[in-house]
Amino acid sequence: MQEKLKEYALIAEIVGAVAIVLSLIFVGIQVKQGAEETAVNTEAIRGQVRESMMNADLEVIKYIAEYMPEDDRTTSNTELFYEILKRTRENFWVQYQNGLLDEDTYTSYISIFIDEIQKRPSFKTRWDGETNNSVVPTFKDEIDSRLRGLDGN
């Protein structure tokens, strides 16, 4: 009888150890999922902040356009249009890089910016003058690459 009890105790010990291991695996999976959810939530908050900042930029641009002297309006409205396109497309690029925009949507929006740069010499000149301080450097690299691809270079 005592041998049977020792056997049962050994089996119970093994079952207990397996249960502990399974519990730890389960807890590990939960921690990983929690970390992933936190990362997604953090990126969503960053996206909202970027969106808010872009909207503030656009409001400033609209304000400038509204209160600009009459003799400056034609040239300046074109320049303001460029700034609006640049800022919104840069924001869309960041959202795309972070997985918040799918490729088709991103491409449809970025194509408008590329087309305007190609159509308007003043836009091309302004774009070529953009620096790493005025736009995200990797966004500039991508647009430059797309423009080179269209030029056949």
**pLDDT tens digits for range 5-59:** 888 888 888 988 888 988 888 888 898 888 888 877 777 787 787 777 777 777 8
The whole-angstrom separation of Cα 98 and Cα 138 is: 13
In this predicted structure, the answer to whether residue 151 has a pLDDT above a threshold of 70 is no
Contact criterion met (CB below 8 Å) for 55 and 62: no
Q: What's the mean pLDDT in 98-122?
A: 91
| Count of the separate structural domains present in the chain | 1
Contact criterion met (CB below 8 Å) for 138 and 94: no
Q: Read off the pLDDT band of 128 (50, 70, 90).
A: very high
Contact partners, residue 149, CB within 8 Å, separation at least 6: none
Q: Phi and psi dihedrals of 27, rounded to 5?
A: -60, -40
Q: What is the pLDDT of residues 58-84, one digit of tens each?
A: 787 777 777 777 776 666 788 888 988
Contact partners, residue 82, CB within 8 Å, separation at least 6: 116, 120, 122, 123, 126
Considering only 42-51, 87-96, 110-119, which range has the smallest mean pLDDT? 42-51
The whole-angstrom separation of Cα 14 and Cα 107 is: 58
Comparing 118 with 41, the larger pLDDT belongs to 118
SS3 136: coil
Largest pairwise CA distance in the chain: 106
Residue with tokens 């056949």: 152
Q: Residue 9's pLDDT is what?
A: 83
In this predicted structure, the answer to whether residue 136 has a pLDDT above a threshold of 80 is yes
Considering only 5-9, 91-95, 115-119, 136-140, which range has the smallest mean pLDDT? 5-9
The whole-angstrom separation of Cα 65 and Cα 68 is: 5
Structural domain including 92 reads: 2-151
Give this prediction's pTM.
0.64
Q: Could you say which DSSP state residue 102 is in? A: -
